[in-house]
Chain A
Amino acid sequence: MYDGLYLSLMLIPAAVGMAVGIIPSGYSRRIAVFLCGVSAFFGVLAYPLYIYGGEITFTFPLFSAWGPYSILMDELSSMIISISSVVFLTVIAHMVRSPSAPADGRYSALVCALFISCILTMCADTVILLLMAWEAVTLSTFLMASGRDHTAAWKFLVIAHIGGLMVISGFLVMMHYAGGHVLSSWSDLGVTMGPLVSCGVVALLFMGFGTKLGLVPFHAWMPDLYASAPTHTSALVSTVSSNVAVLILFKGIFGYIGASDGMYILAIIMMAASSFTAVWSALESLVQTEPKRILAYSSMENMALVLLCFSLGILFSNGGSPGLITVVLIAGLFHTINHSVFKSLMILTVGSVEDCTGETAMEKMGGLAKIMPVFSVMALVAVLSMAAIPPFNGFASEWLMIQSMMGGEGIHVTEILLPLGVAVLGISGMMAAVSYARLYGFMFLGRPRSEKNVSAKVDTATFVPMSVLAILCLGMGIFYSQITERLAVGVAAATSIPSDGPFLDNLSGTLNMPLLAGILLTIVFAVYALNRIFRKKSARSPTWDCGTPLDENMQYSSVGFSQPLVRVFHPLYGDVIEALDGDSSDKRKKYSIRFAEPFVEHLYVPLGNLLMRGAKQVGRTQNGNIQTYFGYILAVLVVLLVAVRFI
């Protein structure tokens, strides 16, 4: 009864907003955004309501040949719905005041559509609703992404549909074996499916959702889309729809199929794929020169770590302790929600900076911390969380990941792979940290690199949503143990992994984050206060310049900053294209370096060429002559008859 009321409060305003947004009117945008905000506000309440009133179930009064459409919000989905709604709410609030957000009502209608489809995917209880909502997520993302550059959005659509196909086939196979379409009644399908089929389905789901999460080689859309789509699209794509994909993938593998010990070879392959994605995307993010592209690769890296956690979860079922499986899965899920918080904060900051300065290249920014001090604080919080620095939330989840890998002794034979997992985590995490230091340092610190960005006007109203996210970054880090305890309850409810007491007891170390953060902050502020009390006078003078006055180009460039690492890892990078920009007869010559994406160069382009050639071959058969078509019919008929006779 109240379930229906709550769901209608959450979904109907957004649905109305969707309808209103399409009306071409001056007010439609504002009304649609407001209605979406109302929906998102009720979405935030999902988890508190779950705690208060238990599971929320509802069946839509709609019937189809595929059965009813029903909804079930369990612990895990309501938790992720709440977090996603918070992100949604902040992104919408930022969008209202952002000058670069598309001004027409259609965009707001699409935001409403994305909200509804994400929520429905997360809480769908029947296969048909889940798959339809998942496709709706893809479609609305595609429409929202059609900004400056349509090719990026198309690339996304094609790749996401290949992924969607895999997801659909995976779910259909599962439905075949489960004999019903109500998702909440599926459990331990792996037993009925046998190891081979369940491996196949897990691989399909992994790749299918991997396309949305940027698994190599399905990642080619990601940097282009982030760079060309409106800021708020990228913010929502990288956070909310990643949450959705990770949640469904998790439920699919561990809830519906259930990891068994026959799957460890697949787990090793998945581990290799996600490790490669993590290291490679971290490497690639080092050479990007646009902040949004860096963030795209960083999303890939974070999601690859989550996928690594899931593959370790399968690996651990091969003889490890059940408590450890829970730990590694919680680490993955916790990292996902953390990622959605800090990544949306960072994308919003970058978007605001791009709005204010009108620049998208890092080489033109610099020294912004003096012009926009508040933004620089927000960005610092986001960057520290992304780089897994204590006491922020990124650190808490990476700590859990490393702990789960270090505790993984006792798994049969394959335990020897765990140090490699730790090494991957260390190297990709540190490379990502380098890339964020570079991002922050070259955007906000140093001297301005072009005269243009001196006049920046900052809309102070956007600080409110950003500071909410920044506080969440800190809060989720400090209170990580409470959050992960709740996640543990959710994981235990959604899967059949036997729980082994409080999951933190399974770890080989403890981390008292409130105390750690408290001591760190106390010490820093005590030193600061002492310094203020016994203050010495300080003077300002120009940067030391060896006697030559510095102009804006005479400082380290962001490309040069990552050059040592590029030199060290050069076999992994693609072709380096060195180009001479502008007129070569000009006195001031400008050279630029560009890195070609090896996967695009050596996989997508040849594949595309092959397809084109194949299409031409097929086209040759279509000569328009009616006799030819009759000939085809005759040939098919003969072949079929022969086949029927002899098979």
Chain B
Amino acid sequence: MDAAISGNLIDLCVVAMLLLSMLAMTTTRIAQLLNAFAVQSLFLTFLALVVADSTGHTELFILGGITFAVKVIGIPWAMRRISVRLHAGREVDSTMGIPGSLLICTILIIVAYLVTEPLMATLETITRNCLAMSMSVILIGLFMMVTRRKAMAEAVGLLMMENGLFLGVISISYGMPLVVEIGIFFDVLMVSAIIGIFALRISKAFDSIDTSVLRRLKE
């Protein structure tokens, strides 16, 4: 592929991932949240494939395939099932309004750029520019976990952070060794399973998966 065009494709994928993170910040429905996550993972898959194709790192093909299977299809499907079983309602409420959280997201992006800028200058990968974006995706994922009340949404925030991490690894060194990556995937699967189970237990105990009621445990 032409280097300029693959560079453009990488840029588009990475910006789409960032946009989907921001979309996830603004959405109020659990289904939309899961869709956003799935599409974000799809772009991640695509990005891995483009990088693999243009740099010749063939193990990225495998990673892309696993990402597709696990994050685009597996986890969203499982979480959708869980949310149906929970009868938790379709709404995910946030402690902050949409305009405010969008503005904070943009500030986080600027911070991420200012922080990663010296590192990016030293990298030599074709994906080095993605580092700032991956940092932003991580920060926004964390911010989502801060503002969202429902356990489900917090899980999605965590998963998005993991996407950002994967992106960062790709941008620094075209991915970690295959074994480590697969290990991380299992971790993610475990985490989502655990969160799912937790959410079920919480909803049984409190009739709600609103994590702010966990505060009552203190007493």
The residues of A with any CB-CB pair to B shorter than 8 Å are 413, 416-417, 420, 568, 571
| Min C-beta distance of A193 to chain B, whole Å | 27
In chain B between 72 and 104, which residues have their CB closer than 8 angstroms to a CB of chain A? 99-100
- A–B complex contacts, Cβ < 8 Å, 5 sampled: A416-B110, A416-B113, A416-B114, A417-B110, A568-B99
CA distance in complex: A303, B113 (Å): 31
Q: With a CB–CB cut-off of 8 A, which chain A residues contact B124?
A: none
Q: Which residue from chain A places its CB closest to the CB of B107 in the assembled complex?
A: A420
B187 on interface, CB distance cutoff 8 Å: no
B117 on interface, CB distance cutoff 8 Å: yes
CA distance in complex: A439, B114 (Å): 42
| Min C-beta distance of A567 to chain B, whole Å | 12
CA distance in complex: A420, B100 (Å): 16
Please encode chain B, from 109 to 150, with 1 for each CB lying within 8 Å of some chain A CB and 0 for all others: 010011001000000000000000000000000000000000
| Min C-beta distance of B74 to chain A, whole Å | 37
Q: Among the listed A413, A417, A420, A571, which residue makes an inter-chain contact with B117, where contact means beta carbons less than 8 Å apart?
A: A413
CA distance in complex: A417, B109 (Å): 12
| Min C-beta distance of B122 to chain A, whole Å | 15
CA distance in complex: A118, B98 (Å): 49
Q: With a CB–CB cut-off of 8 A, which chain B residues contact A568?
A: 99
CA distance in complex: A230, B100 (Å): 42
Interchain pairs with CB closer than 8 A, number: 9
Q: With a CB–CB cut-off of 8 A, which chain B residues contact A413?
A: 114, 117
* B interface majority secondary structure: helix
Most buried by B among A413, A568, A571: A413
CA distance in complex: A416, B117 (Å): 11
Q: With a CB–CB cut-off of 8 A, which chain A residues contact B100?
A: 571
CA distance in complex: A417, B117 (Å): 14
Q: With a CB–CB cut-off of 8 A, which chain A residues contact B99?
A: 568
| Min C-beta distance of A371 to chain B, whole Å | 42
CA distance in complex: A498, B99 (Å): 43
Q: With a CB–CB cut-off of 8 A, which chain B residues contact A571?
A: 100
Q: With a CB–CB cut-off of 8 A, which chain B residues contact A420?
A: 110
| Min C-beta distance of A109 to chain B, whole Å | 52
Known contacts A416-B110, A416-B114, A571-B100; 6 additional CB pairs below 8 A are A413-B114, A413-B117, A416-B113, A417-B110, A420-B110, A568-B99
CA distance in complex: A243, B117 (Å): 40
The residues of B with any CB-CB pair to A shorter than 8 Å are 99-100, 110, 113-114, 117
CA distance in complex: A571, B96 (Å): 12
Q: Which residue from chain A places its CB closest to the CB of B113 in the assembled complex?
A: A416
Q: Which residue from chain A places its CB closest to the CB of B110 in the assembled complex?
A: A416
CA distance in complex: A420, B113 (Å): 14
Q: With a CB–CB cut-off of 8 A, which chain A residues contact B114?
A: 413, 416
Q: Which residue from chain B places its CB closest to the CB of A423 in the assembled complex?
A: B106
| Min C-beta distance of A561 to chain B, whole Å | 22
| Min C-beta distance of A549 to chain B, whole Å | 42
| Min C-beta distance of B137 to chain A, whole Å | 17
| Min C-beta distance of B8 to chain A, whole Å | 20
| Min C-beta distance of A255 to chain B, whole Å | 31
CA distance in complex: A184, B15 (Å): 53
Q: With a CB–CB cut-off of 8 A, which chain A residues contact B117?
A: 413
Q: Which residue from chain B places its CB closest to the CB of A417 in the assembled complex?
A: B110
Q: Which residue from chain B places its CB closest to the CB of A571 in the assembled complex?
A: B100
CA distance in complex: A571, B110 (Å): 23
Q: Which residue from chain B places its CB closest to the CB of A412 in the assembled complex?
A: B117
Q: Which residue from chain A places its CB closest to the CB of B99 in the assembled complex?
A: A568
CA distance in complex: A180, B113 (Å): 45
Q: Which residue from chain A places its CB closest to the CB of B121 in the assembled complex?
A: A413
| Min C-beta distance of B101 to chain A, whole Å | 13
| Min C-beta distance of B205 to chain A, whole Å | 35
| Min C-beta distance of B88 to chain A, whole Å | 29
Q: Which residue from chain A places its CB closest to the CB of B114 in the assembled complex?
A: A413
CA distance in complex: A571, B99 (Å): 12
Q: With a CB–CB cut-off of 8 A, which chain A residues contact B110?
A: 416-417, 420
| Min C-beta distance of A328 to chain B, whole Å | 21
CA distance in complex: A571, B114 (Å): 28
Q: Which residue from chain A places its CB closest to the CB of B109 in the assembled complex?
A: A416
CA distance in complex: A568, B98 (Å): 12
CA distance in complex: A413, B117 (Å): 7
Closest 5 CB pairs of A and B: A413-B117, A416-B110, A416-B113, A413-B114, A416-B114
CA distance in complex: A416, B114 (Å): 9
CA distance in complex: A568, B97 (Å): 11
CA distance in complex: A420, B109 (Å): 13
CA distance in complex: A58, B26 (Å): 66
CA distance in complex: A416, B100 (Å): 20
Q: With a CB–CB cut-off of 8 A, which chain B residues contact A416?
A: 110, 113-114
CA distance in complex: A413, B113 (Å): 9
CA distance in complex: A548, B117 (Å): 66
| Min C-beta distance of B92 to chain A, whole Å | 22
| Min C-beta distance of A410 to chain B, whole Å | 14
Q: With a CB–CB cut-off of 8 A, which chain A residues contact B113?
A: 416
CA distance in complex: A413, B114 (Å): 7
Q: Which residue from chain A places its CB closest to the CB of B132 in the assembled complex?
A: A416
| Min C-beta distance of A269 to chain B, whole Å | 15
CA distance in complex: A307, B4 (Å): 42
CA distance in complex: A413, B100 (Å): 25
CA distance in complex: A420, B114 (Å): 14
| Min C-beta distance of A467 to chain B, whole Å | 44
CA distance in complex: A568, B100 (Å): 11
CA distance in complex: A568, B117 (Å): 35
| Min C-beta distance of A426 to chain B, whole Å | 15
Q: Which residue from chain B places its CB closest to the CB of A420 in the assembled complex?
A: B110
Q: Which residue from chain B places its CB closest to the CB of A413 in the assembled complex?
A: B117
Q: Which residue from chain A places its CB closest to the CB of B100 in the assembled complex?
A: A571
CA distance in complex: A1, B135 (Å): 68
CA distance in complex: A568, B113 (Å): 29
CA distance in complex: A249, B99 (Å): 37
| Min C-beta distance of B121 to chain A, whole Å | 10
| Min C-beta distance of B100 to chain A, whole Å | 8
| Min C-beta distance of B118 to chain A, whole Å | 9
Q: Which residue from chain A places its CB closest to the CB of B106 in the assembled complex?
A: A420
| Min C-beta distance of A268 to chain B, whole Å | 10
CA distance in complex: A416, B113 (Å): 9
CA distance in complex: A280, B100 (Å): 16
| Min C-beta distance of B129 to chain A, whole Å | 13
Most buried by B among A416, A417, A420, A568: A416
| Min C-beta distance of A202 to chain B, whole Å | 22
CA distance in complex: A571, B100 (Å): 10
Q: With a CB–CB cut-off of 8 A, which chain B residues contact A417?
A: 110
CA distance in complex: A413, B120 (Å): 12
CA distance in complex: A416, B99 (Å): 21
| Min C-beta distance of B107 to chain A, whole Å | 9
Q: Which residue from chain B places its CB closest to the CB of A568 in the assembled complex?
A: B99
CA distance in complex: A571, B113 (Å): 28
| Min C-beta distance of A118 to chain B, whole Å | 41
| Min C-beta distance of A581 to chain B, whole Å | 33
| Min C-beta distance of B104 to chain A, whole Å | 13
| Min C-beta distance of A280 to chain B, whole Å | 15
| Min C-beta distance of B116 to chain A, whole Å | 11
CA distance in complex: A342, B24 (Å): 47
| Min C-beta distance of A412 to chain B, whole Å | 9
CA distance in complex: A568, B103 (Å): 14
| Min C-beta distance of A2 to chain B, whole Å | 56
CA distance in complex: A417, B110 (Å): 8
CA distance in complex: A417, B100 (Å): 19
| Min C-beta distance of A227 to chain B, whole Å | 33
